[in-house]
Structure 1
Amino acid sequence: MIHETVVTTLSKQGTAHVAPMGVRFDGNNIILMPFRPSLTYDNIIATRCAVVNFTTDVRVFAGCVTGRRDWPTLPAREVPCVRLAGALAHAELRLTRARDDPLRPTLTMQRVVDATHGAFTGFNRAQAAVIEGAVLVSRLHLLPREKIDAEIAYLKIAVDKTAGPAEHEAWQWLTDAIAAHYESDEPAHQRALS
């Protein structure tokens, strides 16, 4: 099972990077498989740590794939990294094994700290739709327009019926990015969620 999270890392120079990423749980380990090229991958290899953030603020997911990566962070407790300030929970990780691959390396990360900062009240349908929309935006350069248009039209139903202000804002960012992509000759986003 893949869980949609937000991974935060730091460069060797101390620059924070925030990226949505699906992760797998394996006992006390979390498995990350970032696409290459990836600042997340580069930062983890350089610093040997990361933080997985659990949030219902889907603006972070939509924002990251539409060029809005500057989200408030706080220092992690045990690893030299940062966590999202608005995360409901986070797990601080240390790299224990890296399996190289030209497309998607596998990083096995050991949980060092698990912390809860707020109650998880569940996702509504609009939040799930925004996350799916963010995945589509990250793959605009890979998928045919007909598939993008059909899936966005379906996801919009949930947004129209159940979204609050944050979900509407995130959805607008996504639809603006899709429109910009199809209006230009260059893909709006060249990278997957990494």
Structure 2
Amino acid sequence: MPTRRHLLALSLAVTAATAAVGILPAGAGGFTAHDFAFAGIDGGLLPLKRFAGQPVLVVNTASRCGFTYQYDGLQALYDRYRDRGLVVLGVPSDDFGGQELDTEAEVKEFCAVNFAIDFPMTGITPVKGSGAHPFYSWARRELGPEQAPRWNFHKYLVGADGRLLAAFPTATEPTAAAVTEAVETALAGAGMGAGDGT
């Protein structure tokens, strides 16, 4: 079974190969979110192009953080909008305060047992600094360093076309009006309708 390091290297290689053949949409550096892939929490690659046509809320998470309770809100947001196309993508990370568990299996069990999480999740992933996953490096360039994660449970909203639409800091709850309004707008822009999803 490939290791996390091998999967990350493969993700980087896929991104580089895509750039080399010039199949890159418009955007900073020619990239969109759909040009990146994460290691999945169960192994294998999780390419963001899998979600093309759907808005995606990408959230760096941690299991032992004071904000871990936000998993409830993330699941509630996913439950509310999933039938209309929203994807919530959890990105476990140990970058802030060393607050993530040691293995993907532990993270998956923790999320299932404590929060009944069923939205997709990646493997444990670096999201800041020189070792940040390419998606996070790209997002920082796209929106600026002031919109980059400063702690766990930072949220990026990616549009159906792969462009970054918004960033929300840790303290913004997943079900806050700012988030739900941005999600509604993204769903409407993707041709998925408006309303409250109830």
- Shorter-chain TM-score: which interval? under 0.3
Alignment TM-score, normalising by the size of structure 2: 0.24
Hey, which of these two has a bigger chunk of helix by percent? 2
Alignment TM-score, normalising by the size of structure 1: 0.25
Hey, which of these two has a bigger chunk of strand by percent? 1
The structure number with the bigger radius of gyration is 1
